Structure 1
Amino acid sequence: MDLQLSGRVAVVTGASKGIGLAVTRTLLDEGVRVVAASRKSTPELEALGGDALIHVPVDLMNPEAPGQVVSRAVEEWGGLDILVNNAGGPPPGVALPRMSFLGPADDDWRVMFEFNLFSVVRAVRAAIPPMLRRSGGSIVNVSSGSARLPAPMNVDYNAAKAALNNLTKALSEEFAPQGVRVNAVSPGPVRTAWWTEEGGAADIIAAQAGTDRDNVMDSVAPEMMKLSTGRLVEPQEVADVIALLVSPRSASTTGADFAVDAGFLKEI
């Protein structure tokens, strides 16, 4: 299927690994010019190379960073058509899961919202004017199935993502009539660094369950989270949905939230 994306300009945050890397690769394959934002590059991102990819090293916890990334896209390629707000999850230096509401203190809540909500607010604020100058664009916010499944585990993260879902709907309501579509994608547990890195979720759960990280990702986590497919989601599976959403082939899709979650969310 031709996604009709060739020649368009995109910004992807959290682009150096996981879902962001998969989105960047997929958009490049579709002929998109991509500004990839992350704190640092990775060999996997560098391997994509080519004239259609620019890496901007930024810390999105810096209030100025989202605007700087969007400005770079406009300076290099004259405008912006696509924004994928993928950066999120545990803020730098934070390990999840947290098992109780009583765990995170005020500062923990602040940095969680800074990373998972306010950085998106700033990126969208910067992106919409150049999109409007091109008579439209597409924004995809990467949320989480946990935004719609209240639980005491990771309560600060879940609340930030619930706010992101509300923001997505509000943005769509205001800007869809002007040609800017805004949607969300809500992954379940994805086999990314959040799980796989040393000290990450797999190690934390393994220590509590008396097992090893591989068993957590292959068996314990899918069973604990009641995943219908019996396995974690792969980053490319999320990236494929995002690529379709930013495509003109999804021209009538806005204000929606797509679950790519291995059957995690059971509610209607």
Structure 2
Amino acid sequence: MIEGRTALVTGAGNGLGRAIAVALSTAGARVVLAGRGVDALEQTRAQLDGPARVAAVDVADPDSVAAVARSLVDETISILVNNAGVPGPVKPLVEIEPDEWDAVFAVNVRGMYLMCRAFLPPMIERGSGDVINLASVSGKRPLALRTPYTASKMAVLGLSTTLGAEVGPAGVRVNTLSPGPVRGPRMARNFRLEAERLGITEEAAEQAFAGRAALNRLVEEDEVGAAVVAMLHMTGLHCADIDLSAGMVAR
């Protein structure tokens, strides 16, 4: 279900996007690496064994998304992984400025809408395709001081299930993957800020967060890539949300 297909991954220059791109390439897909930083995308391409293409795009900008769609008209993109996202501010809601709130929704929700709007029509016309949107367990349980982020991820869940109902009859599958805390630069930033707020070490902040999960650990980036590949092999999976949180939602 993956070999020989072309997958477009947003936010592919680092973190989860890079891990997803590597996993898809290893599974036999041709990968289009999309994101704002071309140098970072090239670094990802250097890690892939299979064919890949770099496409610069700002997912929150309609003109940029339209331009990249035109530039890829020669590609038969049948897998769209909307991974691009920003963490947003870490502070109480009453201290968050409107432009900070809007900046999170611009990428995490508007960007997903714009990419789907641009790349779904050919899938619908062909009668097949897969869209996987990256949400988060944070959209389903409280995460103090992160209201823009958690609200945006809950919006992703609503967007995905409704979109799936719209395009499912045309043969296009839409699902969400909701990782829990994934080890990497973004979580390291969160642990640093939490440690500063509470006056504890970063290690203690990490352990306190990981302790919320039943497995008492963080998720690794390559596990997220493997989950995307597994979801694409599950042909009956549609309008579904998969938790990959080491049991955080269950606790």
State TM-score, norm by structure 2: 0.91
Contact 1:101 1:152 in 2 (8 A): no
Instruction: Decide whether the 8 Å contact of 2:33 with 2:45 is kept in 1.
Output: no
1:107-256 equivalence runs, <5 A? 107-196=99-188, 200-217=189-206, 219-223=207-211, 226-246=212-232, 249-256=233-240
Quote the Cα distance in structure 2 between the aligned partners of 1:214 and 1:255: 37
Give the distance between the partners of 2:130 and 2:146, measured in 1 at CA.
29
Asked if residue 30 in structure 1 is aligned to residue 13 in structure 2, the reply is no
Match of 2:242 in 1: 258
CA distance in 2, matches of 1:214, 1:46: 32
Contact in 1 for aligned 2:2/2:27 (Cα 8 Å)? yes
Deviation digits for residues 4-25 of structure 1, max 9, x if unmatched?
Answer: 3111011100111111111100
Residue-pair matches, total? 249
Mapped contact 1:11–1:37 kept (Cα < 8 A): yes
Contact kept, 8 Å, 2:7 with 2:79, in 1: the verdict is yes
Q: Give the conservation status (yes or no) of the 8 Å contact 2:26–2:49.
A: no
- Asked whether the 8 Å contact 1:37–1:55 carries over to 2, the reply is yes
Q: Which runs of 4+ in 1 moved over 6 A?
A: none
Partner residue in 2 for 1:97: 90
Please provide the CA RMSD for this pair. 1.9
Assess if the C-alpha contact under 8 Å between 2:134 and 2:177 holds in 1.
yes
Partner of 2:83: 86
Which residue number corresponds to residue 71 of structure 1?
Answer: 70
Tell me how far apart the structure 2 counterparts of residues 126 and 241 of structure 1 sit (CA, whole Å): 25
Equivalent pair of 2:45/2:52 in contact (CA under 8 Å) = no
Number of the residue aligned with 1:21: 18
Equivalent position of 2:54 in the other structure:
55
In the superposition, relative to structure 1, how do residues 213 and 70 fare at CA in structure 2: closer, same or farther (>3 Å)? Answer: farther
- Where do 5+ consecutive residues of structure 2 fail to align? none
Query: Which deviates more from structure 2 when the two are superposed, residues 40-49 or residues 165-174?
Result: 40-49
Q: Is the Cα contact below 8 Å between 2:134 and 2:176 reproduced in 1?
A: yes
Q: In structure 2, do the counterparts of structure 1 residues 38 and 193 end up closer, same or farther at CA, with 3 Å as the change threshold?
A: farther
Partners in 2 of 1:50 and 1:250 — Cα distance?
A: 24
**Structure 1 segments unaligned to the other structure (5+ residues):** none
Deviation at 1:151? 4.6
Q: What SS class does the counterpart of residue 169 from structure 1 fall into?
A: helix
Q: Which range moves more in the overlay, 177-186 or 226-235?
A: 226-235
1:64 counterpart SS class:
helix
TM-score by length of structure 1 reads 0.86
Does the CA contact (< 8 Å) of 1:11 and 1:70 recur in 2? no
Deviations 1:95-121 (A, max 9, x none): x432x2212121122111101100000
2-structure distance, mates of 1:46, 1:193: 20
Distance 1:48 1:72, change over 3 A: farther
1:112 partner amino acid: V
